[in-house]
Structure 1
Amino acid sequence: MRKTYYLFNPGRLSRKDNTLQYTAYDEQGLPGQVKYLPVEDVADLYVFGSLDANSSLYNFLGKQGISVHFFDYYEHYTGSFMAKEYLLAGKLQVQQTQHYTSKTKRIVLARKFVEGSAFNLLKNLRYYQGRGRDVAQEIGQIEGYVAALSFAPAAPELMGLEGNIRQTYYGAFDRLVPADYAFGTRTTQPPQNELNALMSFGNMLCYSACLSQIYHTQLNPTISFLHEPGTRRFSLALDLAEVFKPLLVDRLIFRVLNKKEIRPSDFVQDLGRCVLKESARKTVVRVFEERLKETIQHRSLKRSVSYQHLIKLECYKLTKHLMQMEEYKPFKAWW
């Protein structure tokens, strides 16, 4: 099975026959350790340091179907190199576009994404409520917002309710993590404290994981339903990420902080920004990869599937809805 590789250090990536050669640079910018990645072993690359590569290398990656996702120093996602859209199908493209342009059809899908997100984050809160954390007020408020989803006339109103749900949810975080961390308010550009830095980094990993799975289906990643399509982003990945962030990102945050896999000393304040040190980023990536590979017993398929495969199954369910084969129902955790 192909794997995801994470490149944290500055370096150069080049082709060596049918192998990828990665040469890391040291602090002086001089070539250091060389690693070889068998191309048939690589699913995609996540690049967190500066990377030297030429067009010949990207041509090679494109032919091999290998995507490259780029992040800047502050852990912001900046873009992706995606191989040629080899699976796009004209009929599905037409249906996906029509579901976006039709207000009636779009609101159905947009509402489903918010419902799935709200259900899964409520699952997180109820887990901790059952273990003595007082989050009953937040649960009640979120349930009220969920009840109002059916009255939202369009995607912007749904986004407003989704924002209220998230804000209420974040208000409970201070009771779910050690006292060393205070959430305050959600800040992204830039993240102002440790919890916000962790959340931004985890959300970008989730977004990229969703984008990678969309790429291996016939869906067009630029046409979305909850988030407004943009000229420079793959907005359908944002829609899918809403469903999976409570399971892949929020639970990761609770784990690494409560188990002290990451400590306050793993963060650094830099020019009004809070960022993770490289060692902490590697820890988050390791836990995130473990989570993607973790399997559950799927109720409908009657077999074990990984969280990574759950994202692809979500794409297939969305495809069936667009082709009017089966109504889309967002993934909802049952454990």
Structure 2
Amino acid sequence: MKKTYYLFNPGRLSRRDNTLKFTPVDESGQELMPKYIPVESVSDLYIFGSLDANSSLYNFLGKQQINVHFFDYYEHYTGSFYAKEYLLAGKLQVSQTQHYLSHKKRLAIAKSFVKGAAANMLRNLKYYQTRGKELTACIDTMDSWCDGIDGANAIDELMGIEGNIRQCYYVGFDEILKDLKMEGRSKQPPKNEVNSLISFGNMLCYTICLDQIYHTQLNPTISFLHEPGARRFSLALDLAEIFKPMLVDRVIFSVLNKQQLKASDFHEGTGRITLKEGGKKTFLKAWEEKLSQTIKHRSLGRHVSYKHLIKLECYKLCNHMIGTREYKPFKAWW
């Protein structure tokens, strides 16, 4: 079964027959014991350290449909090696573009993304409300903002509503978390441990959404809620809005409340808080476990993983584009 590999150490990645050879280097540049990864076991690579590789390797990875995602020292997502689009279909491309160019069609899809995101944020708060957390004010304020989604007449107006919903949602974090506090959202840079985890987790969510889009016929550069950009795969940003509450935030609540991550797992430098390498590994382990968890899908009548839910959301968008079935965002019921 294929899986994601995370490379933290600087080093060189090369091909040896049908095996990937990673040779890490220490701080003095000395090579350490190489590690071998059978290429058939790799779904994608996440690179957190400096990587030395040549075009021959990337040609090989491209033929194997293996995407490579890069993060800088401060845990910022910086870009991807994106294997040649092998599933893109002309008819769907045209339809997706037409849906973007039509204000009415684009706004309808964008509203669905916001509704799905808001429903999943509310589900998280209501879960903790039933367990004694005082979240009534947050929930009521979010509900009042949600009432305005259908009446929005422009994307900018809709983005403003989504921002207000999320701001109310984040207020609830300090009630949910036991020890570390969020104390308001800060991004560039994240000013405390909780904000650092949110930024790191959101980048992981964006990247997994991009991976799942890649395995469908959708074009990741044509989006509906976020403006398409020349330097980003903006459809992944749209999909991530729905799944961040279910994946990122639930993992954060779990690892912090179970004290799997503590303040000592972070370090401060140049005015920002980032995870130490051990902290990254702990969070990524919890992240992978969450992605592999399964739920009984109401429509399909079978168990599917959280990761597969994202791909199913892509298929729903495809069906909407070609007129088979109207898109309805995924909303958690647990």
Partner of 2:268: 269
Q: Give the deviation of 1:187 after TM superposition.
A: 1.5
Partner of 1:197: 196
Task: State the distance in 1 between where 2:135 and 2:333 align.
Answer: 20
**SS at 1:150's partner residue?**
coil
What is the one-letter code of the residue matched to 1:283? T
Task: State the distance in 1 between where 2:29 and 2:319 align.
Answer: 50
1:223-277 CA distance string (max 9 Å, x none): 0000000010000000000000001000011000000000011111101011000
Task: State the distance in 2 between where 1:50 and 1:214 align.
Answer: 27
**SS at 2:149's partner residue?**
helix
Q: Give the deviation of 1:155 after TM superposition.
A: 1.2
**SS at 1:105's partner residue?**
helix
Q: Please, which runs of 5 or more residues in structure 2 have no aligned partner?
A: none
Partner of 1:164: 164
Q: Give the deviation of 1:88 after TM superposition.
A: 0.5
**SS at 1:203's partner residue?**
helix
Partner of 1:332: 331
Partner of 2:235: 236
Partner of 1:35: 35
Partner of 1:311: 310
Q: What does 1:1-335 correspond to in 2, within 5 Å?
A: 1-179=1-179, 181-335=180-334
Q: Give the deviation of 1:185 after TM superposition.
A: 2.3
Task: State the distance in 1 between where 2:268 and 2:308 align.
Answer: 36
What is the one-letter code of the residue matched to 2:123? K
Q: Give the deviation of 1:183 after TM superposition.
A: 1.4
What is the one-letter code of the residue matched to 1:201? F
Q: Give the deviation of 1:27 after TM superposition.
A: 2.0
Task: State the distance in 1 between where 2:262 and 2:181 align.
Answer: 13
Task: State the distance in 2 between where 1:235 and 1:251 align.
Answer: 24
Task: State the distance in 1 between where 2:30 and 2:233 align.
Answer: 36
Task: State the distance in 1 between where 2:248 and 2:35 align.
Answer: 30
1:132-172 CA distance string (max 9 Å, x none): 10000000000011110011101111110110011111111
Task: State the distance in 2 between where 1:184 and 1:261 align.
Answer: 21
Deviates more, 1:21-30 or 1:196-205: 21-30
Task: State the distance in 2 between where 1:55 and 1:225 align.
Answer: 34
Q: Give the deviation of 1:33 after TM superposition.
A: 2.2
CA RMSD of aligned residues (A): 0.7
Task: State the distance in 2 between where 1:40 and 1:135 align.
Answer: 47
Q: Please, which runs of 5 or more residues in structure 1 have no aligned partner?
A: none
Q: Give the deviation of 1:184 after TM superposition.
A: 2.1
Task: State the distance in 1 between where 2:262 and 2:182 align.
Answer: 15
Task: State the distance in 2 between where 1:177 and 1:334 align.
Answer: 22
TM-score w.r.t. the length of structure 1 is 0.99
What is the one-letter code of the residue matched to 1:206? C
Q: Give the deviation of 1:38 after TM superposition.
A: 0.7
**Identity of matched residues, %:** 65
Task: State the distance in 1 between where 2:309 and 2:236 align.
Answer: 14
TM-score w.r.t. the length of structure 2 is 0.99
Task: State the distance in 2 between where 1:212 and 1:102 align.
Answer: 27
Task: State the distance in 2 between where 1:101 and 1:270 align.
Answer: 44
Q: Give the deviation of 1:182 after TM superposition.
A: 2.4
Task: State the distance in 1 between where 2:258 and 2:28 align.
Answer: 36
Q: Give the deviation of 1:25 after TM superposition.
A: 1.1
Task: State the distance in 2 between where 1:127 and 1:254 align.
Answer: 12
Task: State the distance in 1 between where 2:171 and 2:29 align.
Answer: 44
Count of aligned positions: 334
